Amino acid sequence: MIDSDRLRSFIAFGETLSFTRAAERLHLSQPALHVQVARLTEDLGVPLYRRVGRGLELTDAGQAVLAFARDQDRRQQALRTALGTGPRPTLVLAAGEGVLLYVLTDPVRRLAGRAGIDLRILTRDQAGVLAALRTGAAQVGVTALTAPPEELHAVKAATTGMIAVMARGHRLARRRTIALPDLADERLIVPPVGRPHRDHLDRALAAAQVPWERAVEATGWEVMMRYAALGVGIAIVNDICIVPRGAVARPVPALAPLAYYVLTRPGLPAEDPASELAERAIAAFRAR
């Protein structure tokens, strides 16, 4: 059996990646914390962290241990709450800004108003959502994926298309749909290079041999659409978005649709509030 005090110490270390800050959080001396982490490493027989430059990072094994430790801590917390001897259970949701703004407002509102639940939200991109779930920082995640990871429980909630958002006076606003050649030489509002949505768009336009100009790089669909409404350029976003006043949206059928998944950590009990949040998130997508 793994010592619970060592697991709690590793949670603090894994979340801060600093022996100094973790020791302060736990009200321990640094040598005492070093001993706890060293003994946990010895118990498990694998390195849990490594030094990178001046900093520290968790190994793959360390990330798995952090996720396990968080799961154990939440189960103990839930038991203490059920017995009336502990604080409210913490429920953490990780999702992108667009999903949080346009799809998950009702599930969040319902759970946030529930007595006995401490709901927290992490605004993360695709990689951030997966990392939060893998390390146990979140119990529920929502993101678009080409295929769900095998180590997480995943339910495909919806498949969504892409739309071109532009100012009402734009020349393409009269079209019912937008073909990729229609975007030739247009100024586009795009996410930074390396973001999944930008890569998806770059590949599609390059394959169609469509030249285009970058109007501005911006992060977040809300920001991109606001600039499109102001006439800065055209924003290509997911059709879950609510188009701001002053803009119009037209479907872009040639762009491949996105599949959204609701993800949870495996072994989540049915009575856990995270199970209810996951079910409500799936229902919210399917009710669109």
Q: How far apart are CA 191 and CA 221, in angstroms?
A: 9
109 shares its domain with 30: no
151 shares its domain with 278: yes
110 shares its domain with 65: no
Segment 128-150 mean pLDDT: 91
- 38/176: higher pLDDT: 176
Band of residue 85 on the pLDDT scale cut at 50, 70, 90: low
Q: How far apart are CA 42 and CA 158, in angstroms?
A: 45
Are the C-beta atoms of 121 and 156 separated by less than 8 Å? no
149 shares its domain with 273: yes
Q: Is residue 81 part of a domain?
A: no
178 shares its domain with 209: yes
Alpha carbon distance, N-terminus to C-terminus of the chain: 47
pTM: 0.77
Q: Is residue 74 part of a domain?
A: no
167 shares its domain with 233: yes
Q: How far apart are CA 92 and CA 133, in angstroms?
A: 10
Q: Is residue 79 part of a domain?
A: no
Q: Is residue 8 part of a domain?
A: yes
Segment 105-116 mean pLDDT: 84
Q: Note the residue count of the chain.
A: 288
Q: What is the DSSP string of 155-215?
A: EEEEEE-EEEEEETTSGGGG-SS--GGGGTT-EEEEPPTTSHHHHHHHHHHHHTT---EEE
pLDDT at 253 over 90: yes
pLDDT of residue 82: 63
Range of the domain at 15: 1-69
For residue 244, what is the domain's CATH number? Answer: 3.40.190.10
Q: Is residue 220 part of a domain?
A: yes
Q: Is residue 192 part of a domain?
A: yes
Note the pLDDT tens digit of each residue in 25-78: 887 888 888 888 888 888 888 999 899 888 888 998 988 888 888 888 777 766
Residue whose C-alpha is closest to residue 168's, from 252, 253, 244, 251: 244
266 shares its domain with 125: yes
172 shares its domain with 106: no
Are the C-beta atoms of 285 and 103 separated by less than 8 Å? yes
For residue 30, what is the domain's CATH number? Answer: 1.10.10.10
How many domains does the chain divide into? 3
Band of residue 234 on the pLDDT scale cut at 50, 70, 90: very high
Q: Is residue 39 part of a domain?
A: yes
Band of residue 242 on the pLDDT scale cut at 50, 70, 90: very high
Q: Is residue 47 part of a domain?
A: yes
Domain boundary among 12, 39, 69: 69
128 shares its domain with 172: no
Domain boundary among 38, 69, 100: 69
Read off the tokens for 283.
Answer: 């229902």
**Phi (first) and psi of residue 97, to 5 degrees:** -60, -45
169 shares its domain with 229: yes
pLDDT of residue 223: 95
276 shares its domain with 150: yes
Which residue bears the tokens 């976003």?
237
241 shares its domain with 194: yes
Task: Spell out the alpha helix ranges (H) of the chain.
Answer: 4-16, 19-26, 30-44, 60-82, 97-102, 105-112, 126-134, 196-207, 221-229, 273-286
